[in-house]
Amino acid sequence: MSESKGTGGPLLAAALIAAAALIAYAGTASYPFVFDGAAIVANNPTLRHLGTALTPPHDGSTVDGRPLVNLSLAANYAVSGTAVWSYHAFNLAVHVLAAWTLLGIVRRSVRGSAGHALGVALVIALIWTVHPLQTEAVTYIVQRAESLAALFYLLTLYGFIRAVAGGPEAPLRRSWAILSVLACLAGTATKETIVSAPVVVLLYDRTFVSGSFRLAWRRHRGLLVALAATWIPLGGLVFAAAGRHGTAGLVSALDWPHYLRLQAYAVPHYLRLAFWPTPLVFDYGTRTVPPAGWIAGALALAGLALATAVGLAVRDQRARTFGFLGATFFALLAPTSLVPVATQTMAEHRMYLPLAAVLAVVIPAIGRVLGRTWLLVALGAAAAFVLAAATRQRNQVYASEDALWSDTVAKLPGNDRAHNNWGNALYLEGRMPEAVAQYGEALRLRPGDNPEAEYNLGNGFLQEGRLPEAIAHSGEAVRLVPGNPAARNVLGTALARAGRLPEAREQFQAALRLDPSSPATHSNLGTTWLLLGRKAEAAEEYRAALRLDPTYADAREALDHLATPSGP
């Protein structure tokens, strides 16, 4: 390992990284919650008090089984409520801290002079900070699960490096060891990708510190065992959140071989984006890949895995370094590449930390070709400038739901989920005909088993007053998912407006059995009872709606109208 003396150079490098991050992400502080972010914050009662934040809801969202992610959102809520600026500030601060930690790891791992090690570390950390691939983990607020877990992963390794360092740092070894274990433990409460951190630490020890697994175990087994012990709470959290299905979506039937074929295409695709980050896509949907695509990808991955294995096996230090970085790359992607995640078969945020391993292979190799550290730094600064500009441009798609999903549809027009979500964005803007068109396209792309598009299309037709179409599509949504109270509420409303009151009443009653906490459904059932001439039942439903939401105007107005002598 290399140890840089003095603090002036590292402090300047850290300042440059922070400045680059601020430039690349300038203007994003006002960007709204997108996709599932608004629902996670608005519908999560555990965020209202810091005392309940460590018990996130088991609702299948990004925070399920990840108490520290939930706690971070609760802290933001305590600071700014639903105003987004503090959420973005937190995400950017995590990103900068992770970049600084990466800088420290590389600086202490590169062989050569202190200046050379710092120069290589600066270029790697700087490019990693401003690379457009990172935008999804930084600008998309709730995807802080990825960046926060990466920070804890890096701190685990950095704490270990400092704990085993000699010289004047020896008296602080225990403190650094404690930091390493605590960071790994915090990672278990953040995201499942931390599972490989103890293994990567062992590989680092063997590659850069002890020289062999036997000597690494003999010297540092206490710390290595303590890190491995974090698998116990991680297993408990994973088991407790067994129902967590990732981000939003209703697809749930991907078989493992199919998923592996998708990953055989996805991982080489991520690698290509590391070198040429375009086009970047927010949601890849549940795409299929032709045999030529996944077979070529599988062969490329097999070659990379073989090179990694050879690098780990030989004694040459440069080859071992490549082997360590290749193993780290695979270890970071393994949790999401080997375990099916049905709602996000591909996601660019998964490359957030693996990108560091790629850069740690490429940048030193370029440095050896150039032969001068200053030339490497100059070239790295130029590359960082270009990448920062690309990041600023990419960030613009997060300025609104409309921009995000229209961009996704433009790049993947066959993605039914993107069309459906673009329809939701248009619906919220009151652009109903355009929303209905997008819902219809989503259903055309995936007919027969698309309850979300059926529901949205039924609701869209209801808003347009097209009752036969609204009944048909919301009825199909209910048939596909009988336990969806929202679809039953839409179907009931359409039936009531069409004069089919007994059928409407049945749908509202069924919806309330599924979700008795909906004031809108109680009010709708009350109106149906009223139209059926059952005033007492109508009044009771209106009262139920007001007990749930005292500000519910429709129920209050109807109840007041019933109480007047001129009432019906």
Name the DSSP letter for residue 206: I
Annotate 381-407 with b (16+ C-beta within 10 A) or e (fewer): eebbeebbebbbebbbbbbbbbebbbb
- Tracing tokens 């810091």 back to the chain, one arrives at 50
Give 449's contacts (C-beta < 8 A, 6+ positions apart).
Answer: 480
One domain for residues 431 and 529: yes
Predicted pLDDT of residue 293: 86
**Residue corresponding to tokens 């925070």:** 63
- Examine the pLDDT at 373 and tell me if it is beyond 70: yes
Q: Are residues 466 and 538 in the same domain?
A: yes
Residue type, 526: G
Grouping H, G, I as helix, E, B as strand and the rest as coil, residue 250 is: coil
Say what the pLDDT of residue 456 is. 97
- Give SS3 for 139: coil
pLDDT of residue 252: 41
What distances in angstroms separate CA 402 from CA 304, 324, 399, 407, 435, one per listed residue? Answer: 39, 42, 8, 8, 11
Q: What is the pLDDT of residue 239?
A: 84
Band (pLDDT 50/70/90 cuts) for residue 249 is very low
Per-residue pLDDT band at 568 (split at 50, 70, 90) = very low
* pLDDT band, very low/low/confident/very high, at 285 (cuts 50, 70, 90): confident
Instruction: Spell out the SS3 assignment of 458-494.
Output: HHHHHHHCCHHHHHHHHHHHHHHCCCCHHHHHHHHHH
Q: Is the model more confident about 245 or about 237?
A: 237
Q: In sequence order, which residues have a C-beta less than 8 Å from that of residue 289 and are 6 or more positions away? A: 261, 262, 264, 265, 297
pLDDT at 566: 56
Q: What does the angle CA 186 – CA 187 – CA 192 come to, to the nearest 5 degrees?
A: 140
* Residue range 74-125, pLDDT digits in tens: 999 999 999 999 999 999 999 999 999 999 999 999 988 999 999 999 999 9
Domain shared by 193 and 173, yes or no: yes
Residue 567 has a pLDDT of: 46
**411 and 390 share one domain:** no
pLDDT of residue 286: 76
Does residue 279 share a domain with residue 175? yes
Sign of CA dihedral 370, 371, 373, 374: negative
Question: Over the chain, what is the mean pLDDT?
Answer: 92
Better-scored residue on pLDDT, 126 or 293: 126
Whether 60 maps to a domain, the answer reads: no
For residues 475-486, give the mean pLDDT. 96
**Would the pLDDT of 247 be above 60?**
no
Q: What is the pLDDT of residue 343?
A: 66
Share of the chain above pLDDT 90, in %: 84
CA dihedral 270, 274, 277, 282 (to 10 degrees): 40
Q: Which of 201, 200, 187 is nearest to 231 (CA)?
A: 187
309 lies in a domain? yes
Of 344, 371, 399, which residue is a domain's last? 399
Instruction: Write down which residue in 339, 366, 399 finishes a domain.
Output: 399
Are 164 and 277 part of one and the same domain? yes
Q: What is the 3-state secondary structure (H, E, C) of 260-320?
A: HHHHHHHHHHHHHHHHCCCCCCCCCCCCCCCHHHHHHHHHHHHHHHHHHHHHHHCCCHHHH
Looking at 372, 399, 426, the residue that finishes a domain is: 399
The pLDDT score that the predictor gives to residue 170 is 67
pLDDT in tens, 385-400: 999 999 999 999 999 9
Query: CB within 8 A of 552, min separation 6: which ones?
Result: 519, 520, 523, 545, 546
Same domain, 408 and 337: no
- pLDDT tens track for 173-216: 899 999 999 999 999 999 999 999 999 999 999 999 999 999 99
Residue 71 lies inside a defined structural domain of this protein? no
| Residue bearing the bigger pLDDT, 243 or 416 | 416
Q: Give the percent of the chain with pLDDT over 70.
A: 94
Q: In this structure, are 500 and 370 located in the same domain?
A: no
Q: Are 275 and 307 in contact (CB under 8 A)?
A: no
The answer on 452 and 389 residing in a single domain is no
Q: What is the pLDDT of residue 531?
A: 94
- pLDDT at res. 494: 97
Residues 335 and 426 in one domain: no
Same domain? For 444 and 328 the reply is no
Residue 560: per-residue pLDDT: 87
Tokens of 346: 């591909």
Residue-by-residue DSSP string for 331-388: HHHHHHHHS--TT-S--GGGGTTHHHHHHHHHHHHHHHHH--HHHHHHHHHHHHHHHH
The crossing angle, in degrees rounded to 10, of helices 535-548 and 519-531 is: 170
Q: Structural domain of residue 531, as residue ranges?
A: 401-563
Res 520 pLDDT > 90: yes
Compute the chain's Rg from CA coordinates: 27
What digits encode the pLDDT tens for the residues 22-69?
999 999 999 999 999 988 998 899 999 998 999 999 888 899 999 999
Quick one: average pLDDT of 421-428?
96
Short-list 441, 455, 388, CA closest to 412:
441
What pLDDT was estimated at residue 424?
96
Q: Domains in the chain: how many in total?
A: 2
Grade residue 563 by pLDDT with cuts at 50, 70 and 90.
confident
Residue 384 lies in a domain: yes
What's the burial of 469, exposed, middle or buried (CB within 10 Å: 0-12/13-18/19+)?
middle
Same domain, 171 and 214: yes
Region 467-494: mean pLDDT is 97
Q: What gap in Å lies between CA 388 and CA 376, rounded to an integer?
A: 18
Domain harbouring 423, CATH code: 1.25.40.10
According to the model, what pLDDT value does residue 282 have? 96
Residue 6 reports pLDDT greater than 70: no
Q: What is the mean pLDDT of residues 332-351?
A: 84
pLDDT tier at 158, thresholds 50, 70, 90: very high
SS3 helix, strand, coil % of the chain, rounded to 5? 75, 0, 25
**58 — phi, psi (to 5°)?**
-90, 75
pLDDT at 291: 87
Among the residue ranges 35-44, 272-281, 528-537, 542-551, the one predicted with the least confidence is: 35-44
